[in-house]
């Protein structure tokens, strides 16, 4: 890489056509009038490693990773941040000038920043969090919540064994709740978060109700299609504060953009509009 090249970055996945990241980074590049391009890169699994190795030679400063590669990149990385290592997956990769690959995971950062910006009165330390789901997104969120000082995390997942694996890893602040008793576990919580895909367009509804949740509990969802999921609608109607899931997607992109293009971008209403407008 030399200073004469136009900065390139992109998102690698398979398939890749659905990714919103090119639109997101494209909006920021235009808004700050920066030279550079951010492109979607579809790599078939058999081409993943050779494809990734070629990118720095082509002038790429880094990439985001999406399905199915967030875990696969870990084996290729020379440096892994603590948070990516805890989560076991990376969504942001930096190609260093010395030829090494650094892997980071900004999903938990994106989750917390979204809450900080959109629920300013709320504080992670003020009470237990109820987390629905124990997949990859849940790992990133739990790791961020623990790091930020959440006193207790109640974890409910359809497959209980996956909750147990997370408890073994993240320790005593995790308490396991039965999936079909999750609504009861909402009592006294300060935060309720859905990390499953349930409630998304085309997926079944989340079998969960806020009837036992305090009205002060902040309710959030990683699903952003629809923007107001049935869970968020229930919360709004009964008077709970809510934060939708789009912000997590926007904020997780921020550290990569800043490193690759040299400008700390803002997440604002104009960006949300640009992403939501087809």
Name the site residues for ligand ATR (rule: CB under 6 A).
133-138, 157-159, 162, 195-198, 204
DSSP type of residue 72: G
Q: Which is nearer to ligand ATR, 50 or 161 (CB)?
A: 161
Which residue's Cβ lies closest to ligand ATR? Answer: 135
- Min CB(214)–ligand ATR separation in Å: 24
Taking the least distance from each CB to ligand ATR, the nearer of 19 and 195 is 195
Side-chain half-sphere CA neighbours of 126 within 13 A:
13
DSSP 84-111: HHHHT--SEEEE-TTS-EEEE--HHHHH
Shortest Å, Cβ 168 to ligand ATR: 15
CB 156 within 8 A of CB 131: yes
CB 158 within 8 A of CB 132: no
For the CB of residue 190, give the shortest distance to ligand ATR in the complex, in Å: 21
276 phi/psi in degrees, rounded to 5: -80, -20
For ligand ATR, give the closer residue by CB, 251 or 261. Answer: 251
* Structure tokens belonging to residue 9: 């970055």
Under 8 Å between Cβ of 235 and 199? no
Among the listed residues 30, 103, 31, the one whose alpha carbon sits nearest the alpha carbon of residue 63 = 103
CB of 186 to ligand ATR, least distance (A): 17
Q: Which is nearer to ligand ATR, 129 or 137 (CB)?
A: 137
For ligand ATR, which is the closer residue by CB, 195 or 265?
A: 195
219-233 burial string, b = 16+ CB within 10 Å, else e? bbbbbbeeeebbbbe
**103 C-beta neighbours (distance < 10 Å), count:** 24
Q: How far is the CB of 258 from ligand ATR (least distance, A)?
A: 25
SS (H, E, C) 163-175: HHHHHHHHCCCEE
Phi, psi for 88 (deg, rounded to 5): 80, 20
Active site residues: 70
């Amino acid at each position: 890489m030399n200073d004469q090249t136009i900065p390139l970055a992109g998102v690698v996945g398979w398939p890749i056509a659905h990714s919103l990241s090119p639109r997101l980074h494209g909006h920021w590049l235009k808004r700050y009038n920066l030279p550079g391009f951010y492109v979607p890169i579809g790599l078939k699994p058999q081409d993943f490693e050779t494809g990734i190795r070629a990118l720095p030679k082509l002038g790429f400063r880094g990439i985001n990773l999406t399905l199915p590669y967030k875990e696969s990149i870990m084996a290729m990385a020379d440096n892994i941040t603590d948070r990516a290592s805890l989560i076991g997956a990376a969504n942001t990769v930096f190609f260093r000038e010395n030829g090494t690959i650094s892997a980071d995971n900004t999903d938990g950062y994106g989750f917390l920043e979204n809450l900080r910006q959109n629920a300013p009165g709320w504080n992670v330390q003020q009470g237990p969090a109820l987390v629905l789901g124990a997949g990859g997104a849940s790992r990133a969120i739990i790791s961020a919540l623990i790091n930020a000082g959440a006193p207790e995390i109640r974890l409910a997942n359809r497959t209980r064994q996956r909750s147990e694996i997370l408890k073994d890893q993240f320790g005593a602040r995790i308490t396991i709740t039965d999936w079909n008793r999750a609504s009861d576990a909402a009592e006294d919580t300060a935060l309720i978060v859905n990390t499953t895909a349930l409630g998304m367009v085309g997926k079944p509804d989340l079998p969960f109700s806020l009837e036992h949740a305090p009205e002060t509990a902040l309710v959030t969802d990683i699903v952003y299609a629809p923007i107001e999921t049935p869970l968020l609608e229930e919360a709004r109607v009964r008077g709970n504060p809510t934060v939708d899931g789009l912000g997590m997607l926007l904020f997780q992109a921020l550290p990569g953009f800043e490193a690759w293009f040299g400008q700390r971008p803002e997440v604002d209403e104009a960006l949300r509009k640009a992403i939501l407008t087809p």
